[in-house]
Structure 1
Amino acid sequence: MAEVDDKLNLVWGAEEIAKLIGRSKRATFYMLDSGELPAKKVGGRWVAERGKLVAFFMDTAA
């Protein structure tokens, strides 16, 4: 599984996603729960591809 994570560059957990996007945990949970961020819940834990998160914020900043 670690090989797959490395290839996809996955970010596991809302706290790690929050660190990556520079938002508070609370704001990140809101964005995840409302479907604003390109992430999915897997086994009760949020997971997102780093590249998709970066692209999402680049698109919204443009």
Structure 2
Amino acid sequence: MSDSNNNSLDLIWGVEAISALIGRSKQQVYHMIANGHLPVVKQVGGRYVASREKLIAFFMEAA
């Protein structure tokens, strides 16, 4: 697999999937995003996307 394929598989799409990955409610995730506490990007159409690797690294640094 090429790096571009690995990177596309690393993406988590939507607040529901992000919340499931980090073990928080959707409301908590929206709050964390609004306050700049999560490394996510809002895509055209309003859907949030995050890198699984960046989310894990973010929480590992905080621990």
How would you bin the TM-score normalised by the shorter chain? Answer: 0.7 to 0.9
CA distance in 2, matches of 1:7, 1:59: 23
* Identical pairs, percent: 49
Question: RMSD of the TM alignment (CA)?
Answer: 1.1
Flag structure 1 segments of 5+ consecutive residues without an equivalent: none
**Which entry has the higher C-alpha Rg, 1 or 2?**
2
2:56 maps to a residue whose letter is: V
One-letter identity of the residue aligned with 1:14: V
| Structure 2: segments with no counterpart, 5+ residues | none
Q: In the alignment, which residue of structure 2 is the partner of 1:7?
A: 6
Q: Which runs of 4+ in 1 moved over 6 A?
A: none
Deviations 1:26-45 (A, max 9, x none): 00110012111000100110
How many residues are matched? 57
Q: Which residue number corresponds to residue 30 of structure 2?
A: 29
- Structure-2-length-normalised TM-score: 0.84
Is 50-59 or 25-34 further displaced after alignment? 25-34
